[in-house]
Chains A and B, each alone.
Chain A
Amino acid sequence: MYSFDFVKPSSVAEAVAALAEDEAQPLGGGQTLIPTLKQRLAMPSKLVSLAGIDEMRGICRDDDGRICIGASTTHAEIAEGAGDYPALARLAANIGDPAVRNRGTVGGSLANNDPSACYPAAALGSGATIITDRREIAADDYFQGMFATALEEGEIITEARFPVPEKADYQKFEQPASRFALVGVFVAKYADGVRVAVTGASEEGVFRWTEAEAALSSDFTAEAVAGLSVPADGMIGDLHGSPEYRAHLVSVMTKRAVAAAG
């Protein structure tokens, strides 16, 4: 990697100040950024670690019953501590391997918005709210395509708040090499309707499958989506699967998620 300066602030305010510098970049758990640096594919002047900011760690419930997770909370901590939202805890428990789960953070994953990552499906599927150092962003407004988000330059995610559904499940079909989601579907049933979010499949990144949402909102059974499918057009085609295959898997994983949610 290229040389860079490294700071580890202890408050959000200090981190924001440190990020004001040109070419400064925040460092979450580093599960994407560190390999990128090793490959010399990025050349930040300064890395601002978010790992030492206590106010960005931990899990709690807010007055609205939402699960509030500090952005620097690791996947392992969420797997262990988000028991009030079992589908989310299971999703975290199935990311990568123990080494990844002990370093990677939910904030890092949401900020990176890898089109095959798991958390974007959970956030969009739960209608979560992304809290930053300067504002609150609804998940529906936050995800803006592959690796693209509503975050501005120097803006830091500090927390994500997930409304807890009546029922939910996440089904991930793994890409055989990376074991990221080839297709992952998060289904959550709330009192006011069902949300279905799909990751891994689309060239536009995570998306809501509104047709399935409508069908499931009136009948939350696997049969309700049996006849539905997403068009292959716009799905990712690569070594691991054609657009048609991914479109097919969206249906299969949705059915499985609904069945598993019970």
Chain B
Amino acid sequence: MPKDHGIGAPMKRREDVRFLTGAGNYTDDINLSRQLYVHFLRSDVAHGRINGIDTEEASKMPGVVRIFTGKDFEGVGGLPCGWQVTDRHGEPMQEPAHPVLAQGKVRHVGDPIAAVVAETREQARDAAEAIAVDIEELPAVVDMKAALQDGAPRVHDDLTSNLCYDWGFVEDNKAAVDEAIRNAHHVTTLELVNQRLAPNAMEPRVAVGDYQRANDESTLYTTSQNPHVIRLLMGAFVLGIPEHKLRVVAPDVGGGFGSKIFHYAEEAFVTFAARQLNRPVKWTASRSEAFLSDAQGRDHVTKIELALDADNNFTAIRTETYANMGAYLSTFAPSVPTWLHGTLMAGNYKTPNIYVNVKAVFTNTVPVDAYRGAGRPEATFQLERVIDKAARELGVDPMALRRQNFVTEFPYATPVAVEYDTGDYPALVDKLEEIADFGGFEARRKESEARGKLRGLGVNCYIEACGIAPSNLVGQLGARAGLYDAATVRVNATGSISVMVGAHSHGQGHETAFPQVVADMLGIDESMVDIVHGDTSKIPFGMGTYGSRSLAVCGSAMVRATEKIIAKAKKIAAHLMEASDADIELKDGKFTVAGTDKSVAWGDVTLAAYVPHNYPLTEIEPGLEETSFYDPSNFTYPAGAYACEVEVDPDTGKVTIERFSAADDFGNVINPMIVDGQVHGGIGQGIGQALLESCAYDENGQLVSASYMDYAMPRADDVPFYSVDHSVQTPCTHNPLGVKGCGEAGAIGSPPTIVNAVIDALHSGGHKVDHIDMPLTPSRVWTAMQG
């Protein structure tokens, strides 16, 4: 019988009632008095020099209030990059300016050239069409390797090349790795592409800027995963507005997947324009704009080599990756192919020598940044694909080869600078074999073959680094921010509680799961606890939600603050019962004196805190409100073992996923139902990457798949019923809840599982195909089968 409340209970998400009944309050639901609308005129060429912008006719059109161009932003800051990577030679990365509106040049299709502010959205759009832009089109660079050739068109004229950085990790390991590969018994090499994806949150981005002249205060309502980060970046680096004069509100947000972490030009624009015009300014992205302006994900081209000794032990891994940055550096872009990718290259395995080289490249494409998993899916994909290929080359069982090389003793310091605190990878594989019914596979394969289909079984193990991140460590690695989080627990007079958190829920279920923790600690009902998030004027300075960090980092702050509440409440209870603090116990919402039948209820203590008639005023302050900031001492390391069975139709190349099983270790679990949902969603996105999705640019830098007519999102009939399990739990050793994070796991673990399964299916039909680049569309699979 599962628990019905508290930590570990599969409670239904309370926020879903408003989401499912149309009562959510999204940014586009916010409409302010005297509000104006902005339409951005965006570049339709990937690369060009702006010789002139004639706004005269457009500015006379009905309803037009003002037209802004890059000139209006001279003297205003550009969009900042939050992470500086240092290259192999100790030099800082090349960091180009990123203006709010294009200045001099456009560098990707969708780059904003001008912004028309008008009384209505349609008027703004009409006027934008009347702007005459004289653009001299320049040759575009799209392919990364071509962008690094001598004489390639330069995305940024003021940089020495299109190379952002050439990063080696760990540079000191390189010679040993080269040596190990030279001396290896067997080396398996694989070249692969981790294709570019569009994040496609269900809610497109929206921003509303407001300005109160009376007190010189600006407010930005925006679709953000981290309102304090936006306030910090936009206030300090772009617009020069001090924190106390700038409020950022991210209300209900309909999915982010990373794309709403970053500070975007449109947010800065509406805030800036509202101040200039002394009227609110609103922007709502169309889906077409989302394809051309939301930071995209992945886009790595990699060569990986795996060296093994005569006993099939992994001896070395060497990778060379080209990582596309797009035309500008998005907020955290430089960190993704480096610290979120290179540090994960050990995977679940005790490979002694690892060297990762990453060349980050500017191209005339939409900027690339973190997308669900961010670097970790790219690492896992390479590693798990090359292991699968090695197993086939060596004629050994792919899971046995993995098991043989597992890290089994913890803590384990990898050769790529991180230390896994805890894990049990063999237990995950045991669990997987049980839920995936490996024993029944051959019979299922025969049944498929009888129907003319090829059936394949693919397996995969992954590890990820979550709970982002220890500030001192990331500071050394180039982060320009701390990555702690914060929570304020405000106990009201009647005992109800508001918890103000720095984390932001945009699908993660914080409003349900966080109260489960507080209620459990206090022994009260969840209905007495509400979460407040998404408004910098209400919440403490926390860094938001990404990198599967909310519970591990912000949840830890919440636990610490609640512990302070309990300590203070015990003092009050001791006073009320004329006992010693040390003798007070809190259980089931009641304070008792140990060894006696004396007790006071939770509500009596909270009331005393706010009506302190009988209260130790000389010792403690009235009130019951505590704040904690929590900075993790390490990453957390969720891990898992996945299996997938596919059928391939040999006539058409169409792949269908027949079974998908996931055994994950997330440490302790607060709400297993929400965890199931997070894993389901992550696998769904992984299926999208493996089989369907791709941002395809043509040689001129036009995004060919810029609408749902060509960009294939997974739909209900593309995904199977999943079998997921998270009963293997090795609690995190360094945070108070022992939690690890579950938000990205599915998206990290599933793509290689699926590709491995397809390759297995093809081999079962006699097709000696080593690799197919994602997405494994029917066309690509069929073409590969033709040899």
In the complex the two chains form, what is the Cα distance from A40 to B692 in whole Å?
A: 28
Per the bound structure, the CA–CA distance linking A208 and B16 in Å amounts to 52
Chain A nearest CB from B341 CB (Å) reads: 27
Binds B, one of A67-75, A88-96, A184-192, A245-253: A245-253
- Provide the bound-state CA to CA distance between A39 and B709, in Å: 14
1/0 contact string of A211-251 vs chain B (CB within 8 Å): 00000000000000000000000000001111011001100
**Contact string against A for B residues 303-323, beta-carbon threshold 8 Å, 1 for contact and 0 otherwise:** 000000000000000000000
Question: Restricting to B570-623, which residues have a CB under 8 Å from any CB of A?
Answer: none
Contacts of B713 in A (CB 8 A): 177
Query: How far does the alpha carbon of A57 sit from the alpha carbon of B777 in the complex, in Å?
Result: 39
Contact B782 A239 (CB under 8 A): no
Measured between beta carbons, the chain A residues less than 8 angstroms from B653 are 245
A interface footprint on B646-658 (CB within 8 Å = 1, 0 otherwise): 0000011110000
State which of A239, A241, A242, A249 has its C-beta within 8 Å of the C-beta of B694: A239
Contact present for A178 and B710 (CB under 8 Å): yes
Q: Which of A176, A177, A248 contacts B782 (CB 8 A)?
A: A248
Contact A177 B778 (CB under 8 A): no
With A177-B709, A178-B708, A252-B651 known as contacts, the answer to whether A245 contacts B783 (CB < 8 A) is: yes
Mask, A137-167, CB within 8 Å of B = 1, is: 0000000000000000000000000000000
Pick from A173, A176, A245, A249: contact of B692, CB below 8 A: A176
Expressed in whole angstroms, the Cα–Cα distance for A244 and B782 within the complex equals 10
Which residues of chain B are near A240, meaning CB under 8 Å?
710, 777, 779
Whether A252 contacts B777 in the complex (CB less than 8 A), given A177-B710, A178-B708, A178-B710, comes out as no
Is B708 a contact of A176 with CB atoms below 8 Å? no
**A177 B711 Cβ-Cβ under 8 A:** yes
> Residues of B contacting A249 with CB < 8 Å?
652
Overall SS of chain B's interface: loop
Chain A residues, Cβ within 8 Å of B779: 240-242, 245
Interface residue from B125, B710, B778 paired with A239 (Cβ < 8 Å): B710
Interface contact A245-B782, CB-CB below 8 Å: yes
Q: Which residue of A lies closest to B718 (CB)?
A: A176
**A179, B125: Cα distance in complex, Å:** 31
Quick check: is B86 within 8 A (CB to CB) of the other chain?
no
Q: Does chain A have a CB within 8 A of B212?
A: no
Contact-residue size bin, chain A (C-beta under 8 Å from the other chain): 10 to 19
B776 to chain A, nearest CB (A): 11
Q: A173-B652, A177-B712 are in contact. Are A241 and B696 (CB under 8 A)?
A: no
Interface membership of chain B positions 287-304, coded 1 if the CB is closer than 8 angstroms to chain A and 0 otherwise: 010000000000000000
Contact with B along A162-205 (1 / 0, CB 8 A): 00000000000100111000100000000000000000000000
How many residue pairs bridge A and B at CB < 8 Å? Answer: 46
Q: Which residues of A contact B778 (CB under 8 A)?
A: 173, 176, 182, 241, 245
A197 to chain B, nearest CB (A): 20
Question: With the chains together, A177 CA to B125 CA distance in Å?
Answer: 28
Residues in A with CB closer than 8 Å to B777 are 176, 240-241
> Which residues in A have their C-beta under 8 angstroms from that of B394?
none
B705 at the interface (CB under 8 A from A): yes
Q: Smallest CB-CB separation from B775: which chain A residue?
A: A176
Identity of the chain B residue whose Cβ is nearest the Cβ of A253 in the assembled complex = B652
Residues of B within 8 A of A239 (CB): 694, 696, 704-705, 710
A178 to B707, CA, bound (A): 9
Size range of the interface on B? 20 to 34
Nearest Cβ distance between residue B16 and chain A, in whole angstroms?
Answer: 23
Render B711-753 as a binary contact track against A, CB cut-off 8 A, 1 for contact. 1110000000000000000000000000000000000000000
B185 to chain A, nearest CB (A): 40
Q: What residues on A are CB-neighbors of B783 within 8 Å? A: 242, 244-245
Please report which residues of chain B, range 408-432, place their CB below 8 angstroms from some CB of chain A when the two chains form the complex.
none
Most chain A C-beta atoms within 10 Å of own C-beta, residue among B708, B709, B711: B709
From 241 to 284 in chain B, residues with beta carbon under 8 angstroms from any chain A beta carbon are: none
Instruction: For A245, list chain B residues within 8 Å (CB).
Output: 653, 778-779, 782-783
Measured CB to CB, the closest approach of chain A to B740, in angstroms, equals 34
With a cutoff of 8 Å between Cβ atoms, the chain B residues found around residue A177 in the complex are: 692, 705, 708-713
Q: Which of A173, A178, A244, A245 has the largest number of chain B CB atoms within 10 A?
A: A245
Residue of B129, B779, B782 with most partner-chain A CB within 10 A: B779
Contacts of A248 in B (CB 8 A): 782
CB within 8 Å of B: which of A80-135? none
**In the complex the two chains form, what is the Cα distance from A241 to B777 in whole Å?**
9
- Residue among B652, B654, B713 with the most chain A CB within 10 A? B652
CB A94 to nearest CB in B, in angstroms, measures 12
Chain B residues near A39 (CB, 8 Å)? 288
Question: A242-B783, A248-B782 are known contacts. Are A176 and B712 too (CB-CB below 8 A)?
Answer: yes
Rounded to whole angstroms, the CA-CA distance of A241 and B783 in the bound complex is 9
Q: Give Cα A252 to B650, complex, Å.
A: 11
Chain B neighbourhood of A252, CB < 8 A: 651-652
Contacting residues of chain B (196-235) with chain A, CB-CB under 8 angstroms: none
How long is the Cα–Cα vector from A39 to B706 in the complex, in angstroms? 13
Chain B residues closer than 8 Å to A178, beta-carbon distance: 708-710
Chain B residues near A40 (CB, 8 Å)? 125, 129
The residues of A that contact B709 with a CB separation of less than 8 Å are 177-178
In the complex, what residues of B have CB within 8 A of residue A176's CB?
691-692, 712, 777-778
The complex places the Cα of A240 from the Cα of B653 at a distance, in Å, of: 12
CB distance from A32 to the nearest CB of B (A): 11
With both beta carbons as reference points, the residue of chain B lying nearest to A116 in the complex is identified as: B709
Complex Cα–Cα for A176 and B776 (A): 11
Complexed CA–CA distance, A178 and B777 (Å): 14
The docked-state distance in angstroms from the alpha carbon of A141 to that of B709 is: 29
Shortest beta-carbon distance from A177 to chain B in Å: 4
Report the nearest B residue to A241, measured CB to CB.
B779
Shortest beta-carbon distance from A186 to chain B in Å: 18
The CA of A249 and the CA of B779, in the complex, are separated in Å by 10
A176–B715 alpha-carbon span in the complex (Å): 10
Q: Which residues of A contact B705 (CB under 8 A)?
A: 177, 239
| Chain A residues, CB < 8 A from B654 | 173
Q: How far is the CA of A178 from the CA of B706 in the complex (A)?
A: 12
Which of A239, A241, A252 is the most central at the interface, judged by chain B CB atoms within 10 Å of its CB?
Answer: A239
Distance of B417 from chain A, by nearest CB (Å): 39
Q: In the assembled complex, how far is the CB of residue A80 from the closest CB belonging to chain B, in whole angstroms?
A: 22
A114–B692 Cα distance when bound, in Å, is 23
Q: How far is the CA of A248 from the CA of B651 in the complex (A)?
A: 9
Cβ of B210 to closest chain A Cβ, rounded Å:
28
Residues of B contacting A244 in the complex (Cβ-Cβ under 8 angstroms): 783
Q: How close is B590's CB to chain A, nearest CB, in angstroms?
A: 55
Closest residue of chain A to B711, judged by CB?
Answer: A177
- For B782, the chain A residues whose CB sits under 8 A away are 245, 248
Contacts of A182 in B (CB 8 A): 778
Q: Tell which of A177, A242, A248, A249 has the most Cβ of chain B within 10 Å.
A: A177
Query: B750 → chain A, closest Cβ, in Å?
Result: 17
Top 8 A-B pairs, shortest CB-CB distance? A177-B712, A241-B779, A176-B712, A178-B709, A245-B779, A252-B651, A177-B710, A239-B696
- 19 contacting pairs across A/B (C-beta < 8 A): A39-B288, A173-B652, A173-B778, A176-B691, A176-B692, A176-B712, A177-B708, A177-B710, A177-B711, A178-B708, A178-B709, A178-B710, A182-B778, A240-B777, A242-B779, A242-B783, A245-B653, A245-B782, A252-B651
Give the interface of A toward B (CB within 8 A): 39-40, 173, 176-178, 182, 239-242, 244-245, 248-249, 252
Given A176-B777, A177-B710, 13 other A-B residues pairs in contact with their CB atoms under 8 A = A39-B288, A40-B125, A40-B129, A173-B778, A176-B692, A239-B696, A239-B705, A239-B710, A240-B710, A245-B653, A245-B778, A245-B779, A252-B651
